[in-house]
Amino acid sequence: MAFQGKVAVVTGGGRDIGRAVSLKLAASGARVALNYCNDAAAAERTLADIKAAGGQALLVRGDMTQAADVEALFAASAEAFGPAVDVLVNVTGGIVARKTLEEMDETFFDRVIALNLKSVFLATKAAAGRMGAGGAIVNVASQAGRDGGGGGASAYATSKGAVMTFTRSMAKELGPRGIRVNAVCPGMISTTFHDTFTKPEIRAAVASATPLKREGQAAEVAEAIAYLASEASSFLNGVNLDINGGTYFS
């Protein structure tokens, strides 16, 4: 088991990609501190599923755009599993709404940037101080960070592009300490994100245009994240890994 005896913190770990990551890491031996903010029911189901499979996990509610809540998450992990953190997966994020430039105001733009970028900064800062050599941080960016995103997603795409750049910067800064920092850039993945914000006809068109002729699944993204967090990828650092079925090549 690749993560036996290790402690993993997963922000946004209750549903969709975060749920799949939490389940994967726990099944691979990690003790998982999973965070959620709004969907308590989904997070509780994830926790119950981990425990039913014999895994160890802790559920902590908190807004990852707030430093106090981030610190509370890591404090809870330390109390339950010890002070060290071996793996951080930054899943927290979202589009909030699709808005054109004319429709956006300063408050909306700041909210999207905080949700997708500030959350990564705060959690990474908190984790790095608790990590030793061999630690791994994996961020969830997006194909939108590469191609600018779909209609009304400019703030989201901008924030995810910044996550990709932050990933590279942290790979350089933390690498000498033996901490690797990588990211994944999912394309069209079947999640509540697209259930809520993408029209069915657009999803169908994207899936049809993808060489694999389908949407991706959250579990497929989780497999890639687990790989980047494990020693199997020990010489990968600063990578932004595309997961889009061949829709976009970087």
Nearest to 39 by CA among 14, 64, 66, 69: 14
CB 191 within 8 A of CB 222: no
CB 99 within 8 A of CB 151: no
Asked whether residue 159 is assigned to any structural domain, the reply reads yes
Asked whether residue 127 is assigned to any structural domain, the reply reads yes
The reported pLDDT for the residue numbered 238 is 98
Distance CA 136, CA 237 (A): 9
The residue range of the domain holding 42 is 7-243
What letter would DSSP give residue 176? G
Asked whether residue 250 is assigned to any structural domain, the reply reads no
Q: Confirm whether 156 is a catalytic residue.
A: yes
Query: The domain that contains 174 carries what CATH number?
Result: 3.40.50.720
Set 36, 156, 227, 248: catalytic member = 156
The reported pLDDT for the residue numbered 198 is 79
Asked whether residue 147 is assigned to any structural domain, the reply reads yes
Asked whether residue 249 is assigned to any structural domain, the reply reads no
- Counting the structural domains of the chain, the total is 1
Half-sphere exposure of 224 (CA within 13 A, CB side): 21
Asked whether residue 1 is assigned to any structural domain, the reply reads no
The reported pLDDT for the residue numbered 77 is 98
Sign of CA dihedral 242, 245, 247, 250: positive
Classify residue 91 as exposed, middle or buried by CB count within 10 Å of its CB (0-12, 13-18, 19+).
buried
Asked whether residue 19 is assigned to any structural domain, the reply reads yes
The reported pLDDT for the residue numbered 202 is 86
Q: Spell out the per-residue pLDDT of the chain, length 250, in tens.
A: 799 999 999 999 999 999 999 999 999 999 999 999 999 999 999 999 999 999 999 999 999 999 999 999 999 999 999 999 999 999 999 999 999 999 999 999 999 999 999 999 999 999 999 999 999 999 999 999 999 999 999 999 999 999 999 999 999 999 999 999 999 999 999 887 777 767 888 889 888 899 999 999 999 999 999 999 999 999 999 999 999 999 999 8
Asked whether residue 67 is assigned to any structural domain, the reply reads yes
Amino acid at 199: K
